Structure 1
Amino acid sequence: MTFPDNKLTVRSPADLVAVVPYLLGFRPAEGSIVVLANRDHRVVFAARGDLPAPDAPAHEVLGLAAHMLPIVCRQKPITDIVTIGYGNPEHVDAALHAVGEVLTAGDLSVRALLRVTGSRVVNLSCDEPTCCPPQGIAFDATASLLAVQATAAGLVALPDRAAVAARFAPVTGAARDAIGHAADSALARFKTLSAAGGAAVDVAGAHALRDALRQPDRRLTDDELAWLTLLLTRASVRDLAVELTQPHDPHVTFWAEITRRAHEPLVPAPATLLAIAAWRCGDGALAAMAAERALQVDPAYHLADLLLQALRAGLPPSTFDQDTGRANPATP
């Protein structure tokens, strides 16, 4: 993921490890590997992956590194790389060295290999005990000055990936039934409008979108939400929503709420819009999970698929905007 211009001064490996959850948006679990790309002492990109199981053959680790290499290389110019593994030495150390060797062979300068085990960070690329003791350095991710500064800068570190997914998890029970009834009621209205022609749907869609996004913190009624999500099934209305959605937190929260409450068959469009909003804000984890949610409901939803491919390739949002619906706004 890429980051906004928040400036946090990192003075040690412990500082860097403390701020990683705020860069990713969640705290990496054991068995994670994080690659940070730096340009002139500034983190410009982060990628996280799952390490293979401890007893996995060596080629699986090399495959993970080979997958990460072109993604990181796309961020050039890069000054150096820091790679961080989470877990016990038996699981992490050999994998970190293998990934570091692949990145180095790809003409990337690996500045540090760090292992986080519990509340200690070990620098595997430094054997000077005075600055990098073999037992590591203790750190407290929640109490560090960097964590306080990151929070003040508006960065959020959720407990784990499950907490990210919970932001747009579908409603259940009575709330789900109510939105289903509202969607059924709105469908007849939508069919009548569609019979009047696509232009009529475009006009209604533009009105509904501008009205909703003008006050994104206002909770839509079930009827308003059902009507909006039906209008978004028209590609031109969805593409207008892409243009109107701005890279700031209220729009991310808005589309997360719409995705969470939407009638299941109508989820793909708002989930994709959530992904786009999150990506533009630098939240790659939320963006990828939202795109996956859209494809879970409709595996053929082309815009979500393109978005997910771009995210996995490490492309910036500007590239995606240039290569997708702007050139062909009718693409579903």
Structure 2
Amino acid sequence: MSLPDNKLTVRSSADLVAAVPYLLGFRPSDGSIVVIASRDRRIVFAARGDLPAPGAPASRVLEVAANLVPVLRRQQPITDLMIVGYGAEHIDPALLTASEALTASGMPLLELLRVTGTRIFNLTCDNPDCCPPQGTPFDPIASLIAVQATAAGQVALPNRAAVAARFAPVDGAARASMRRATTKALIRLKAVSADDKAAADEAGVRAVRDALRKHDLGERLTDDEVAWLTLLLRRPSVRAIAVDLTQPHDRHVTFWADVTRRAEEALVPAPATLLALAAWRCGDGTLAGMAADRALQVDPAYRLADLLLQTLHAALPPAMFEQAIVKARTNPSTR
């Protein structure tokens, strides 16, 4: 079985478990359930959720499964479904309930696994020769999958907190410097747009092109450049250019993460949404969703971030989101 883009090949349960962090972008914590769908031996979808606390009624587990069913159906046709749970054996009943609910909706289950530390337990196999009751040991670090993924440039961060840290706001002296730079940029913007409103749009287009070009050459933007860029990104026409120029490259993810970190709080929504877009185009749904959430934390009415998040949660095809971007540009109420 191959992973997206045919970068890795999964040949065993241990390979599948080793691949999960690279599918998600981070290592799931205990209490997680990961659902993986494949089509003709090719993985096409992976999603993580939180299992209810031990002792919770079965209805809570059924709610988790019910939320996944419509998302999985959008990936049809699905030929195999794999479920991996994380934690001690007390989560087994919840995993079994979730798997029964998913298979009852017509999705074939290939494997149901539980991972505890460095051991894998197969909940659908009772043959002690291949699935011993004490679990099968595996080393996620020394796994061939981990080696191949690293060589292919795929990254698995230790947890979701590490993903959020990629675009967490700077503080201390760095924040004070950005605040001063933003104050200067405000004065500059007023002067530029005082006599000609179109001048600010033109300046924004130049700022986006120059910033991405400079980053692509390996240079980091100064605080003054970041402040100027984030102010101009409030203009819909400037943001539209940034959307068009943002490419599915790790370097653009890194660029918008840095701009989001350094932007003043009120100016975060635009760069955070562009970070989400870059991550989404690179296939990193976790980072994309968290960055879109960050934009909406600052401005709950920021429509483009909301559209992106809805698309991610529904696991709609990429083309659907691109269509949403076009609609957003033609809707005067969209920001």
* TM-score, length-scaled by structure 1: 0.96
Partner of 1:32: 32
Q: 2:192 matched to 1:193? A: yes
> Are the aligned partners of 1:239 and 1:325 in contact in 2 as well (CA < 8 Å)?
no
Q: Distance in 2 between matches of 1:48 and 1:221?
A: 38
> Are the aligned partners of 1:25 and 1:283 in contact in 2 as well (CA < 8 Å)?
yes
> Are the aligned partners of 1:6 and 1:153 in contact in 2 as well (CA < 8 Å)?
no
Q: Number of aligned pairs? A: 329
Deviates more, 1:104-113 or 1:240-249: 104-113
Q: Distance in 2 between matches of 1:325 and 1:256?
A: 24
Superposed CA RMSD: 1.4
**2:46 counterpart SS class:** strand
Q: Offset at 1:197?
A: 4.3
Unpaired runs of 5+ residues, structure 1, are none
Per-residue CA deviations over 1:118-146 (Å, capped at 9, x if unaligned) read 11011111122221222211011111111
Q: 2:66 matched to 1:70? A: no
Deviates more, 1:58-67 or 1:314-323: 314-323
> Are the aligned partners of 2:214 and 2:221 in contact in 1 as well (CA < 8 Å)?
no
Amino acid at match of 2:235: R
Partner of 1:313: 314
**1:34 counterpart SS class:** strand
**1:129 counterpart SS class:** coil
Q: Distance in 2 between matches of 1:305 and 1:148?
A: 36
Amino acid at match of 2:127: E
Gap change, CA 1:136 and 1:49, over 3 Å in 2 = same
- What is the correspondence of 1:1-332 to structure 2 with a 5 Å cutoff? 4-90=4-90, 92-216=91-215, 217-325=218-326, 328-329=329-330, 331-332=334-335
Amino acid at match of 2:192: L
> Are the aligned partners of 2:4 and 2:42 in contact in 1 as well (CA < 8 Å)?
no
> Are the aligned partners of 2:304 and 2:328 in contact in 1 as well (CA < 8 Å)?
no
| Runs of 4+ with >6 A deviation | none
> Are the aligned partners of 1:24 and 1:284 in contact in 2 as well (CA < 8 Å)?
yes
Q: Offset at 1:4?
A: 4.8
Q: Offset at 1:265?
A: 0.8
Amino acid at match of 1:274: L
Amino acid at match of 2:257: A
Deviates more, 1:98-107 or 1:34-43: 98-107
* TM-score, length-scaled by structure 2: 0.95
> Are the aligned partners of 1:4 and 1:282 in contact in 2 as well (CA < 8 Å)?
no
Q: Offset at 1:181?
A: 0.9
Q: Distance in 2 between matches of 1:23 and 1:188?
A: 45
Identity %, equivalent residues: 67
Q: Distance in 2 between matches of 1:136 and 1:124?
A: 10
Q: Distance in 2 between matches of 1:242 and 1:6?
A: 28
- Which structure has the higher relative contact order (CA within 8 Å, separation 6+)? 1
Q: Offset at 1:327?
A: 5.6
Gap change, CA 1:199 and 1:326, over 3 Å in 2 = farther
Q: Distance in 2 between matches of 1:98 and 1:30?
A: 18
Per-residue CA deviations over 1:147-170 (Å, capped at 9, x if unaligned) read 000111111010100100010010
> Are the aligned partners of 2:80 and 2:107 in contact in 1 as well (CA < 8 Å)?
yes
**1:83 counterpart SS class:** strand
Q: Distance in 1 between matches of 2:61 and 2:257?
A: 34
> Are the aligned partners of 1:80 and 1:111 in contact in 2 as well (CA < 8 Å)?
yes
> Are the aligned partners of 1:4 and 1:281 in contact in 2 as well (CA < 8 Å)?
no
> Are the aligned partners of 2:8 and 2:148 in contact in 1 as well (CA < 8 Å)?
yes
Q: Offset at 1:326?
A: 5.2
Per-residue CA deviations over 1:145-204 (Å, capped at 9, x if unaligned) read 110001111110101001000100100001001101111111122123333444222211
Unpaired runs of 5+ residues, structure 2, are none
> Are the aligned partners of 2:4 and 2:43 in contact in 1 as well (CA < 8 Å)?
no
Q: Distance in 1 between matches of 2:63 and 2:40?
A: 29
**1:143 counterpart SS class:** coil
Q: Distance in 2 between matches of 1:129 and 1:196?
A: 80
Amino acid at match of 1:195: A
Deviates more, 1:65-74 or 1:312-321: 312-321
> Are the aligned partners of 1:100 and 1:110 in contact in 2 as well (CA < 8 Å)?
yes
